Chains A and B, each alone.
Chain A
Amino acid sequence: MKCIEAVNDFVIKFANVNGSGSASANELFAKAIMRMGVPVAPRNIFPSNIQGLPTWYEARVCEKGYSGRRGGVDMMVAMNPQTWDADLAEIEPGGYLFYDSTRPLPASKLRSDVQVIGVPLTEITNATYTDPRQRQLFKNIIYVGALSVLLDVDAAVFEKLFAEQYKGKERLLDSNVKALHLGRDYVREHLGGRLGIRVEKRDNVGDQVFIDGNSAVGLGMVYGGATVAAWYPITPSTSVAEAFQKYCDKFRVDAATGRQNYAIVQAEDELASIGMVVGAGWNGARAFTATSGPGISLMTEFIGLAYFAEIPVTIVDVQRGGPSTGMPTRTQQSDLFAAGYASHGDTKHVLLFPQDPHECFVHAAAALDLADRLQTPVFVMTDLDIGMNQRLCKPFAWDDSKQYDRGKVMTAEELEAGKDFGRYKDVDGDGIPWRTLPGTHATKGSYFTRGTTRDPYARYSERGPDYIYNMERLRRKFKTAANLVPQPEVRAAQQKTKFGVIYFGSTTPAMHEALEVLEEGGIHLDAMRLCAFPFPDSVPKFIAAHDKVFVVEQNCDAQMRAMLVNELEINPAQLVKVLHYDGTPITARYITRAIRDTLQPAAADSQKEAA
Chain B
Amino acid sequence: MTWIAKPKLHHPTLTKNKVGYTRRDYEGRISTLCAGCGHDSISAAIIQACWELDIQPHRVAKLSGIGCSSKTPDYFLGASHGFNTVHGRMPSVLTGANLANRDLLYLGVSGDGDSASIGLGQFANAMRRGVRMAYIVENNGVYGLTKGQFSATADRGSKSKKGVVNSDSPVDLVGLALQLGATYVARSFSGDKEQLVPLIKGAMEHGGAAFIDVISPCVTFNNHSGSTKSYDYVREHNDAVSRIDFITSKSEITTAYAPGEVVEVQQHDGSKLRLRKLHQDYDPTDRLAAMTYMHKQQARGEIVTGLLYVDPLATDLHTALNTSDNALNTLNAVQLCPGSKALEKINAALR
Instruction: Mark out the residues of chain B between 52 and 107 whose CB falls within 8 Å of any chain A CB in the assembled complex.
Output: 56-59, 61, 63, 73-74, 78-86, 89, 91-101, 103-104
Taking the nearest CB of chain B, how far is it from the CB of A178, in angstroms? 27
The residue of chain A having its C-beta at the shortest distance from the C-beta of B66 within the complex is A451
Q: What is the CA–CA distance of A210 and B86 in the complex, to the nearest angstrom? A: 42
- Across-interface contacts of B86 in A (CB, < 8 A): 275, 301-302, 305, 451
A227 at interface, CB cutoff 8 A:
yes
Q: What is the CA–CA distance of A247 and B208 in the complex, to the nearest angstrom? A: 29
Contact between B82 and A448, CB atoms less than 8 A apart = yes
A482 at interface, CB cutoff 8 A:
no
Contact between B96 and A440, CB atoms less than 8 A apart = no
Residues 290-311 of chain A: 1 if any B CB is under 8 Å from the residue's CB, otherwise 0? 0000000000011001000100
Greatest chain B CB density within 10 A among A211, A224, A450 is at A450
Q: What is the CA–CA distance of A260 and B331 in the complex, to the nearest angstrom? A: 12
- Across-interface contacts of A264 in B (CB, < 8 A): 321
A interface residues, tally (CB under 8 Å)? 74
Q: What is the CA–CA distance of A230 and B131 in the complex, to the nearest angstrom? A: 14
A497 at interface, CB cutoff 8 A:
no
B256 at interface, CB cutoff 8 A:
no
B333 at interface, CB cutoff 8 A:
yes
Interface segment, one of A70-78, A394-402, A596-604: A394-402
B329 at interface, CB cutoff 8 A:
yes
- Across-interface contacts of A460 in B (CB, < 8 A): 74
- Across-interface contacts of B101 in A (CB, < 8 A): 283-285, 437-439
Contact between A398 and B340, CB atoms less than 8 A apart = yes
Partner of B92, one of A252, A262, A272, A452: A272
Query: Interface of chain B, helix or strand or loop or mixed?
Result: helix
- Across-interface contacts of B337 in A (CB, < 8 A): 222-225, 398
Contact between B339 and A398, CB atoms less than 8 A apart = yes
B41 at interface, CB cutoff 8 A:
no
Residues 201-229 of chain A: 1 if any B CB is under 8 Å from the residue's CB, otherwise 0? 00001011111000000010011110110
B347 at interface, CB cutoff 8 A:
yes
- Across-interface contacts of A260 in B (CB, < 8 A): 321-324
Q: What is the CA–CA distance of A398 and B93 in the complex, to the nearest angstrom? A: 32
A347 at interface, CB cutoff 8 A:
no
Q: A398-B337, A450-B84 are in contact. Are A278 and B328 (CB under 8 A)?
A: no
The residue of chain A having its C-beta at the shortest distance from the C-beta of B350 within the complex is A209
Contact between B84 and A280, CB atoms less than 8 A apart = no
A162 at interface, CB cutoff 8 A:
no
Query: Interface of chain A, helix or strand or loop or mixed?
Result: loop
Residues 323-351 of chain B: 1 if any A CB is under 8 Å from the residue's CB, otherwise 0? 11110110111011111101100110011
- Across-interface contacts of A211 in B (CB, < 8 A): 350
Q: What is the CA–CA distance of A437 and B101 in the complex, to the nearest angstrom? A: 10
The residue of chain B having its C-beta at the shortest distance from the C-beta of A230 within the complex is B96
Partner of A400, one of B96, B122, B339, B350: B339
Taking the nearest CB of chain A, how far is it from the CB of B85, in angstroms? 7
Q: What is the CA–CA distance of A271 and B337 in the complex, to the nearest angstrom? A: 29
Contact between A439 and B82, CB atoms less than 8 A apart = no
Contact between A228 and B328, CB atoms less than 8 A apart = yes
A480 at interface, CB cutoff 8 A:
no
A325 at interface, CB cutoff 8 A:
no
- Across-interface contacts of B36 in A (CB, < 8 A): none
- Across-interface contacts of A452 in B (CB, < 8 A): 84
Taking the nearest CB of chain B, how far is it from the CB of A354, in angstroms? 17
Q: What is the CA–CA distance of A276 and B131 in the complex, to the nearest angstrom? A: 12
- Across-interface contacts of A403 in B (CB, < 8 A): 333
Instruction: Mark out the residues of chain B between 271 and 328 whose CB falls within 8 Å of any chain A CB in the assembled complex.
Output: 317-318, 321-326, 328
B238 at interface, CB cutoff 8 A:
no
B170 at interface, CB cutoff 8 A:
no
Q: What is the CA–CA distance of A258 and B321 in the complex, to the nearest angstrom? A: 11
B121 at interface, CB cutoff 8 A:
yes
- Across-interface contacts of B57 in A (CB, < 8 A): 442
Contact-residue size bin, chain B (C-beta under 8 Å from the other chain) = 35 or more
- Across-interface contacts of B100 in A (CB, < 8 A): 227-228, 279-285, 287
A251 at interface, CB cutoff 8 A:
yes
Contact between A279 and B95, CB atoms less than 8 A apart = yes
- Across-interface contacts of B317 in A (CB, < 8 A): 265
Taking the nearest CB of chain A, how far is it from the CB of B313, in angstroms? 20
Contact between A225 and B336, CB atoms less than 8 A apart = yes
Q: What is the CA–CA distance of A414 and B92 in the complex, to the nearest angstrom? A: 31
Contact between B80 and A438, CB atoms less than 8 A apart = yes
Contact between B343 and A440, CB atoms less than 8 A apart = no
A268 at interface, CB cutoff 8 A:
yes
The residue of chain A having its C-beta at the shortest distance from the C-beta of B84 within the complex is A450
The residue of chain B having its C-beta at the shortest distance from the C-beta of A365 within the complex is B337
B161 at interface, CB cutoff 8 A:
no
Q: What is the CA–CA distance of A523 and B88 in the complex, to the nearest angstrom? A: 57
B266 at interface, CB cutoff 8 A:
no
Q: What is the CA–CA distance of A269 and B347 in the complex, to the nearest angstrom? A: 34
Contact between A223 and B81, CB atoms less than 8 A apart = no
Partner of B58, one of A274, A302, A399, A440: A440
Instruction: Mark out the residues of chain B between 128 and 182 whose CB falls within 8 Å of any chain A CB in the assembled complex.
Output: 129
B117 at interface, CB cutoff 8 A:
no
Contact between A223 and B85, CB atoms less than 8 A apart = no
Contact between A276 and B340, CB atoms less than 8 A apart = no
Q: What is the CA–CA distance of A372 and B4 in the complex, to the nearest angstrom? A: 39
Contact between B329 and A285, CB atoms less than 8 A apart = yes
- Across-interface contacts of B91 in A (CB, < 8 A): 272, 275
Contact between A404 and B81, CB atoms less than 8 A apart = no
Contact between A222 and B338, CB atoms less than 8 A apart = yes
- Across-interface contacts of B328 in A (CB, < 8 A): 227-228, 261-263, 280, 285
Contact between A448 and B73, CB atoms less than 8 A apart = yes
Q: What is the CA–CA distance of A278 and B326 in the complex, to the nearest angstrom? A: 20
Greatest chain B CB density within 10 A among A225, A263, A305 is at A263
Greatest chain A CB density within 10 A among B93, B122, B351 is at B93
Q: A251-B338, A397-B343 are in contact. Are A442 and B96 (CB under 8 A)?
A: no
Contact between A395 and B347, CB atoms less than 8 A apart = yes
- Across-interface contacts of A258 in B (CB, < 8 A): 322
- Across-interface contacts of A575 in B (CB, < 8 A): none
Taking the nearest CB of chain B, how far is it from the CB of A532, in angstroms? 23
Q: What is the CA–CA distance of A228 and B121 in the complex, to the nearest angstrom? A: 21
Partner of B96, one of A283, A309, A395: A283
- Across-interface contacts of B343 in A (CB, < 8 A): 223, 396-398
The residue of chain A having its C-beta at the shortest distance from the C-beta of B119 within the complex is A271
Taking the nearest CB of chain A, how far is it from the CB of B113, in angstroms? 16
Contact between A397 and B95, CB atoms less than 8 A apart = no
Contact between A227 and B125, CB atoms less than 8 A apart = no
A542 at interface, CB cutoff 8 A:
no
Contact between B99 and A280, CB atoms less than 8 A apart = yes
Contact between B92 and A267, CB atoms less than 8 A apart = yes
- Across-interface contacts of A404 in B (CB, < 8 A): 332-333, 336
Partner of B97, one of A257, A283, A436: A283
Q: What is the CA–CA distance of A283 and B93 in the complex, to the nearest angstrom? A: 10
Q: A259-B324, A287-B100 are in contact. Are A271 and B89 (CB under 8 A)?
A: yes
Q: What is the CA–CA distance of A438 and B59 in the complex, to the nearest angstrom? A: 8
Q: What is the CA–CA distance of A254 and B323 in the complex, to the nearest angstrom? A: 10
The residue of chain A having its C-beta at the shortest distance from the C-beta of B105 within the complex is A439
A487 at interface, CB cutoff 8 A:
no
The residue of chain A having its C-beta at the shortest distance from the C-beta of B77 within the complex is A446
Q: What is the CA–CA distance of A272 and B85 in the complex, to the nearest angstrom? A: 12
Q: What is the CA–CA distance of A207 and B57 in the complex, to the nearest angstrom? A: 56
- Across-interface contacts of A450 in B (CB, < 8 A): 83-84
Contact between A439 and B99, CB atoms less than 8 A apart = no
Q: Given A262-B328, A272-B122, list of 8 further CB < 8 A pairs?
A: A227-B329, A271-B89, A276-B93, A279-B95, A283-B61, A302-B89, A437-B329, A449-B82
Q: List 21 A-B contacts (CB under 8 A).
A: A207-B351, A222-B338, A227-B329, A230-B95, A260-B324, A261-B335, A275-B93, A279-B93, A279-B99, A280-B97, A281-B100, A282-B100, A283-B104, A285-B96, A439-B81, A439-B101, A439-B104, A446-B82, A447-B81, A447-B82, A449-B83
Leading 6 A-B pairs by shortest Cβ distance: A275-B92, A279-B96, A285-B100, A276-B96, A438-B81, A279-B93
